[in-house]
Structure formats: structure tokens, C-alpha cells
Amino acid sequence: MSTAVDQAVEAGPSTFRPTSMELQHRVEKFFSAEAELLDDHRYTDWVQLFTEDVHYWLPTRMTRTIRERDQEVAAAGENALIDDDLTALRGRVRRVTSGIQWSEEPPSRTRRLITNVRIDERGDGELDVRSNFCIYRSRLERHQDWFVGERFDLLRPAEGAYPYRIASRKVVFEQTTILAPSISIFF
């Protein structure tokens, strides 16, 4: 006999993604390596993880009613906190590493936690990956910020030290109003 909870679970599409342990481990290790590059301020090495045609963006988020939830996050081409291609992303890295960007001089201390990695394989070898993040930033003596949200990545297989390159990254904050004085770190 099924319960109402069982029927509700069966009614919607499954969010379970059958992924091999090897693939899951490989993608999680890639994200851990990426987080280490960022937390160690190795931004020039980090930007090399992106493809030439990358789209790196942080759309805005607004509080909406239940009926309008599909409009909560801005769509591509609409308002965004950051909307970069590789040239713009490299420019942001140059500014942060130059020592003259006031919002990162002296540099913030960060710690990134990347969790709940969910992988969907495409037929062409590329991977659609969703992950949750929590980033703690400490700056100067007393300033602290938390950034929490979800990332939507398109990973392409690559040769070399890293098994993937990031072809697209969409970062969606849980917050609708960012209380931090700047968004000068990378996600």
C-alpha cells in the first residue's frame, strides 16, 4: 500500500542521477582543485580552466510569488551582476592580481565548500553539472561575508593536468540583496 508521500514522490520527475563512481569522483576532484586554486589566490592558473568561448555569469535574483517562481532568476541577456566572456574574465583576473584593485587590496581570505554535485552526461562527452556552494570571505580585521548558492556548469573533456575545461558557468545566489560591499571574488 502506497502512502500519500510515496505517491507525491512518484508523481514528479526523478532528481536521482545514476552516475558512475569514477565520473562522480573525477568531477568532484576537479571542483576541489579549482577551489584550491581560488583559495590560494592562483587566479592566473584558475582562468586557464575556462574554454575560449566561455560564458561566466551571475544573473540577478528577485523575490517572486509562487506563481512567478519561474521569473525569479534573470534569463540570459537580462540583468546580471557579472556577464563575462573569456576576455572580460581575464581582465578581472588582471585587476585582482595587479594590487591596485581597492576592493582586494589587501586580498580577501576565502574558503570554498562545493557540495551536492549532480552530473548529467551529454552524448558528446560534455557534462552538465549542478553544484551547491558556500563561500566564506574574511577581509581586513573584522569584515566577513557569506556567499551561498548554486552553480550550473558545462564541462568539456580536456587533455593535460586538468580533465575538464569550463565552457559555461551560471552562478545563482540564494540572496536577492547582496550585503557584501563588493563582489570582487570568483565563484
> For the segment 95-135, what is each residue's pLDDT rounded down to a tens digit?
999 988 888 889 999 999 999 999 999 989 999 999 999 99
C-alpha distances out from residue 55 to 30, 50, 52, 120, 122, Å: 19, 9, 9, 19, 18
Whether 7 has a pLDDT exceeding 80, the answer reads no
In 3-state terms, the chain is what percent helix, strand and coil (to 5)? 30, 35, 35
Whether 52 has a pLDDT exceeding 70, the answer reads yes
Q: Are 55 and 166 in contact (CB under 8 A)?
A: no
Domains of the chain: 20-173 (3.10.450.50)
Q: Tell me the β-bridge partners of 148.
A: 134
| pLDDT, average across residues 5-14 | 62
pTM: 0.90
Alpha helical stretches, state H, the chain: 4-11, 21-39, 43-47, 86-98
**Residue 161, φ and ψ in degrees, nearest 5:** -65, -25
> What pLDDT score was predicted for residue 53?
98
